Amino acid sequence: MRTSKVVFICLGNSCRSIMAEALARHYFREKVAAASAGISPLGFVVPQTLEVLAEIGVSTAGLRSKGMEEIDFRACHLVVNLTDYPLKNLLPFTFPGRLLHWPVFDPYGGLLDDYRRTRDSLHRLITQEIDAAILSAGS
């Protein structure tokens, strides 16, 4: 049974937040409902994003680029802002959870190694920094 819902937000929902969603699903399995969205979604997931996730055995099934309007923020326990853009005014006033601002490098348009560095940064963020916040938010 899932105990928490976490949403990762980036600009285009094609690289960073998609990676974070997939990594959270991979590491937290049924304990957390992970989702992602973009402030201004591109509408597609960059192939390099999928490639670097597959390299480490993380499933990419069901990942798609979407906007914040598709997220029910009233059901979220934690929103993680992976951009430098302030999100507070973009969230509905009914958002009951916690907003964590944690900018991560955007690899869009870069080399495959840029995507790997972003993936590795997100891996550390999720497994070392957010783990306790996500799990305690749903308690």
pTM: 0.92
- Integer Cα distance of 115 and 15 in angstroms: 8
SS3 percent helix, strand, coil of the chain, rounded to 5, is: 45, 15, 40
- Integer Cα distance of 110 and 86 in angstroms: 24
- Integer Cα distance of 123 and 68 in angstroms: 23
pLDDT tens over the chain, length 139 residues: 456 899 999 999 999 999 999 999 999 887 889 999 999 999 999 999 999 999 999 999 999 999 999 999 999 999 999 999 999 899 998 899 999 999 999 999 999 999 999 999 999 999 887 776 655 554 4
Short-list 106, 97, 60, 53, CA closest to 79? 97
* Number of separate domains in the chain: 1
Q: Around Cβ 93, how many Cβ atoms within 10 Å?
A: 5
Range of the domain at 79: 4-137
Q: CA angle, corner 64, sides to 60 and 66, nearest 5?
A: 150
Give the CATH number, domain containing residue 98.
Answer: 3.40.50.2300
**Which pLDDT does position 1 carry in this prediction?**
45
User: Is the CB of residue 10 less than 8 Å from the CB of residue 42?
Assistant: no
What sign results for the dihedral spanned by CA atoms 13, 129, 25, 5? Answer: negative
Structure tokens at 138: 């749903």
What sign results for the dihedral spanned by CA atoms 63, 43, 119, 34? Answer: negative
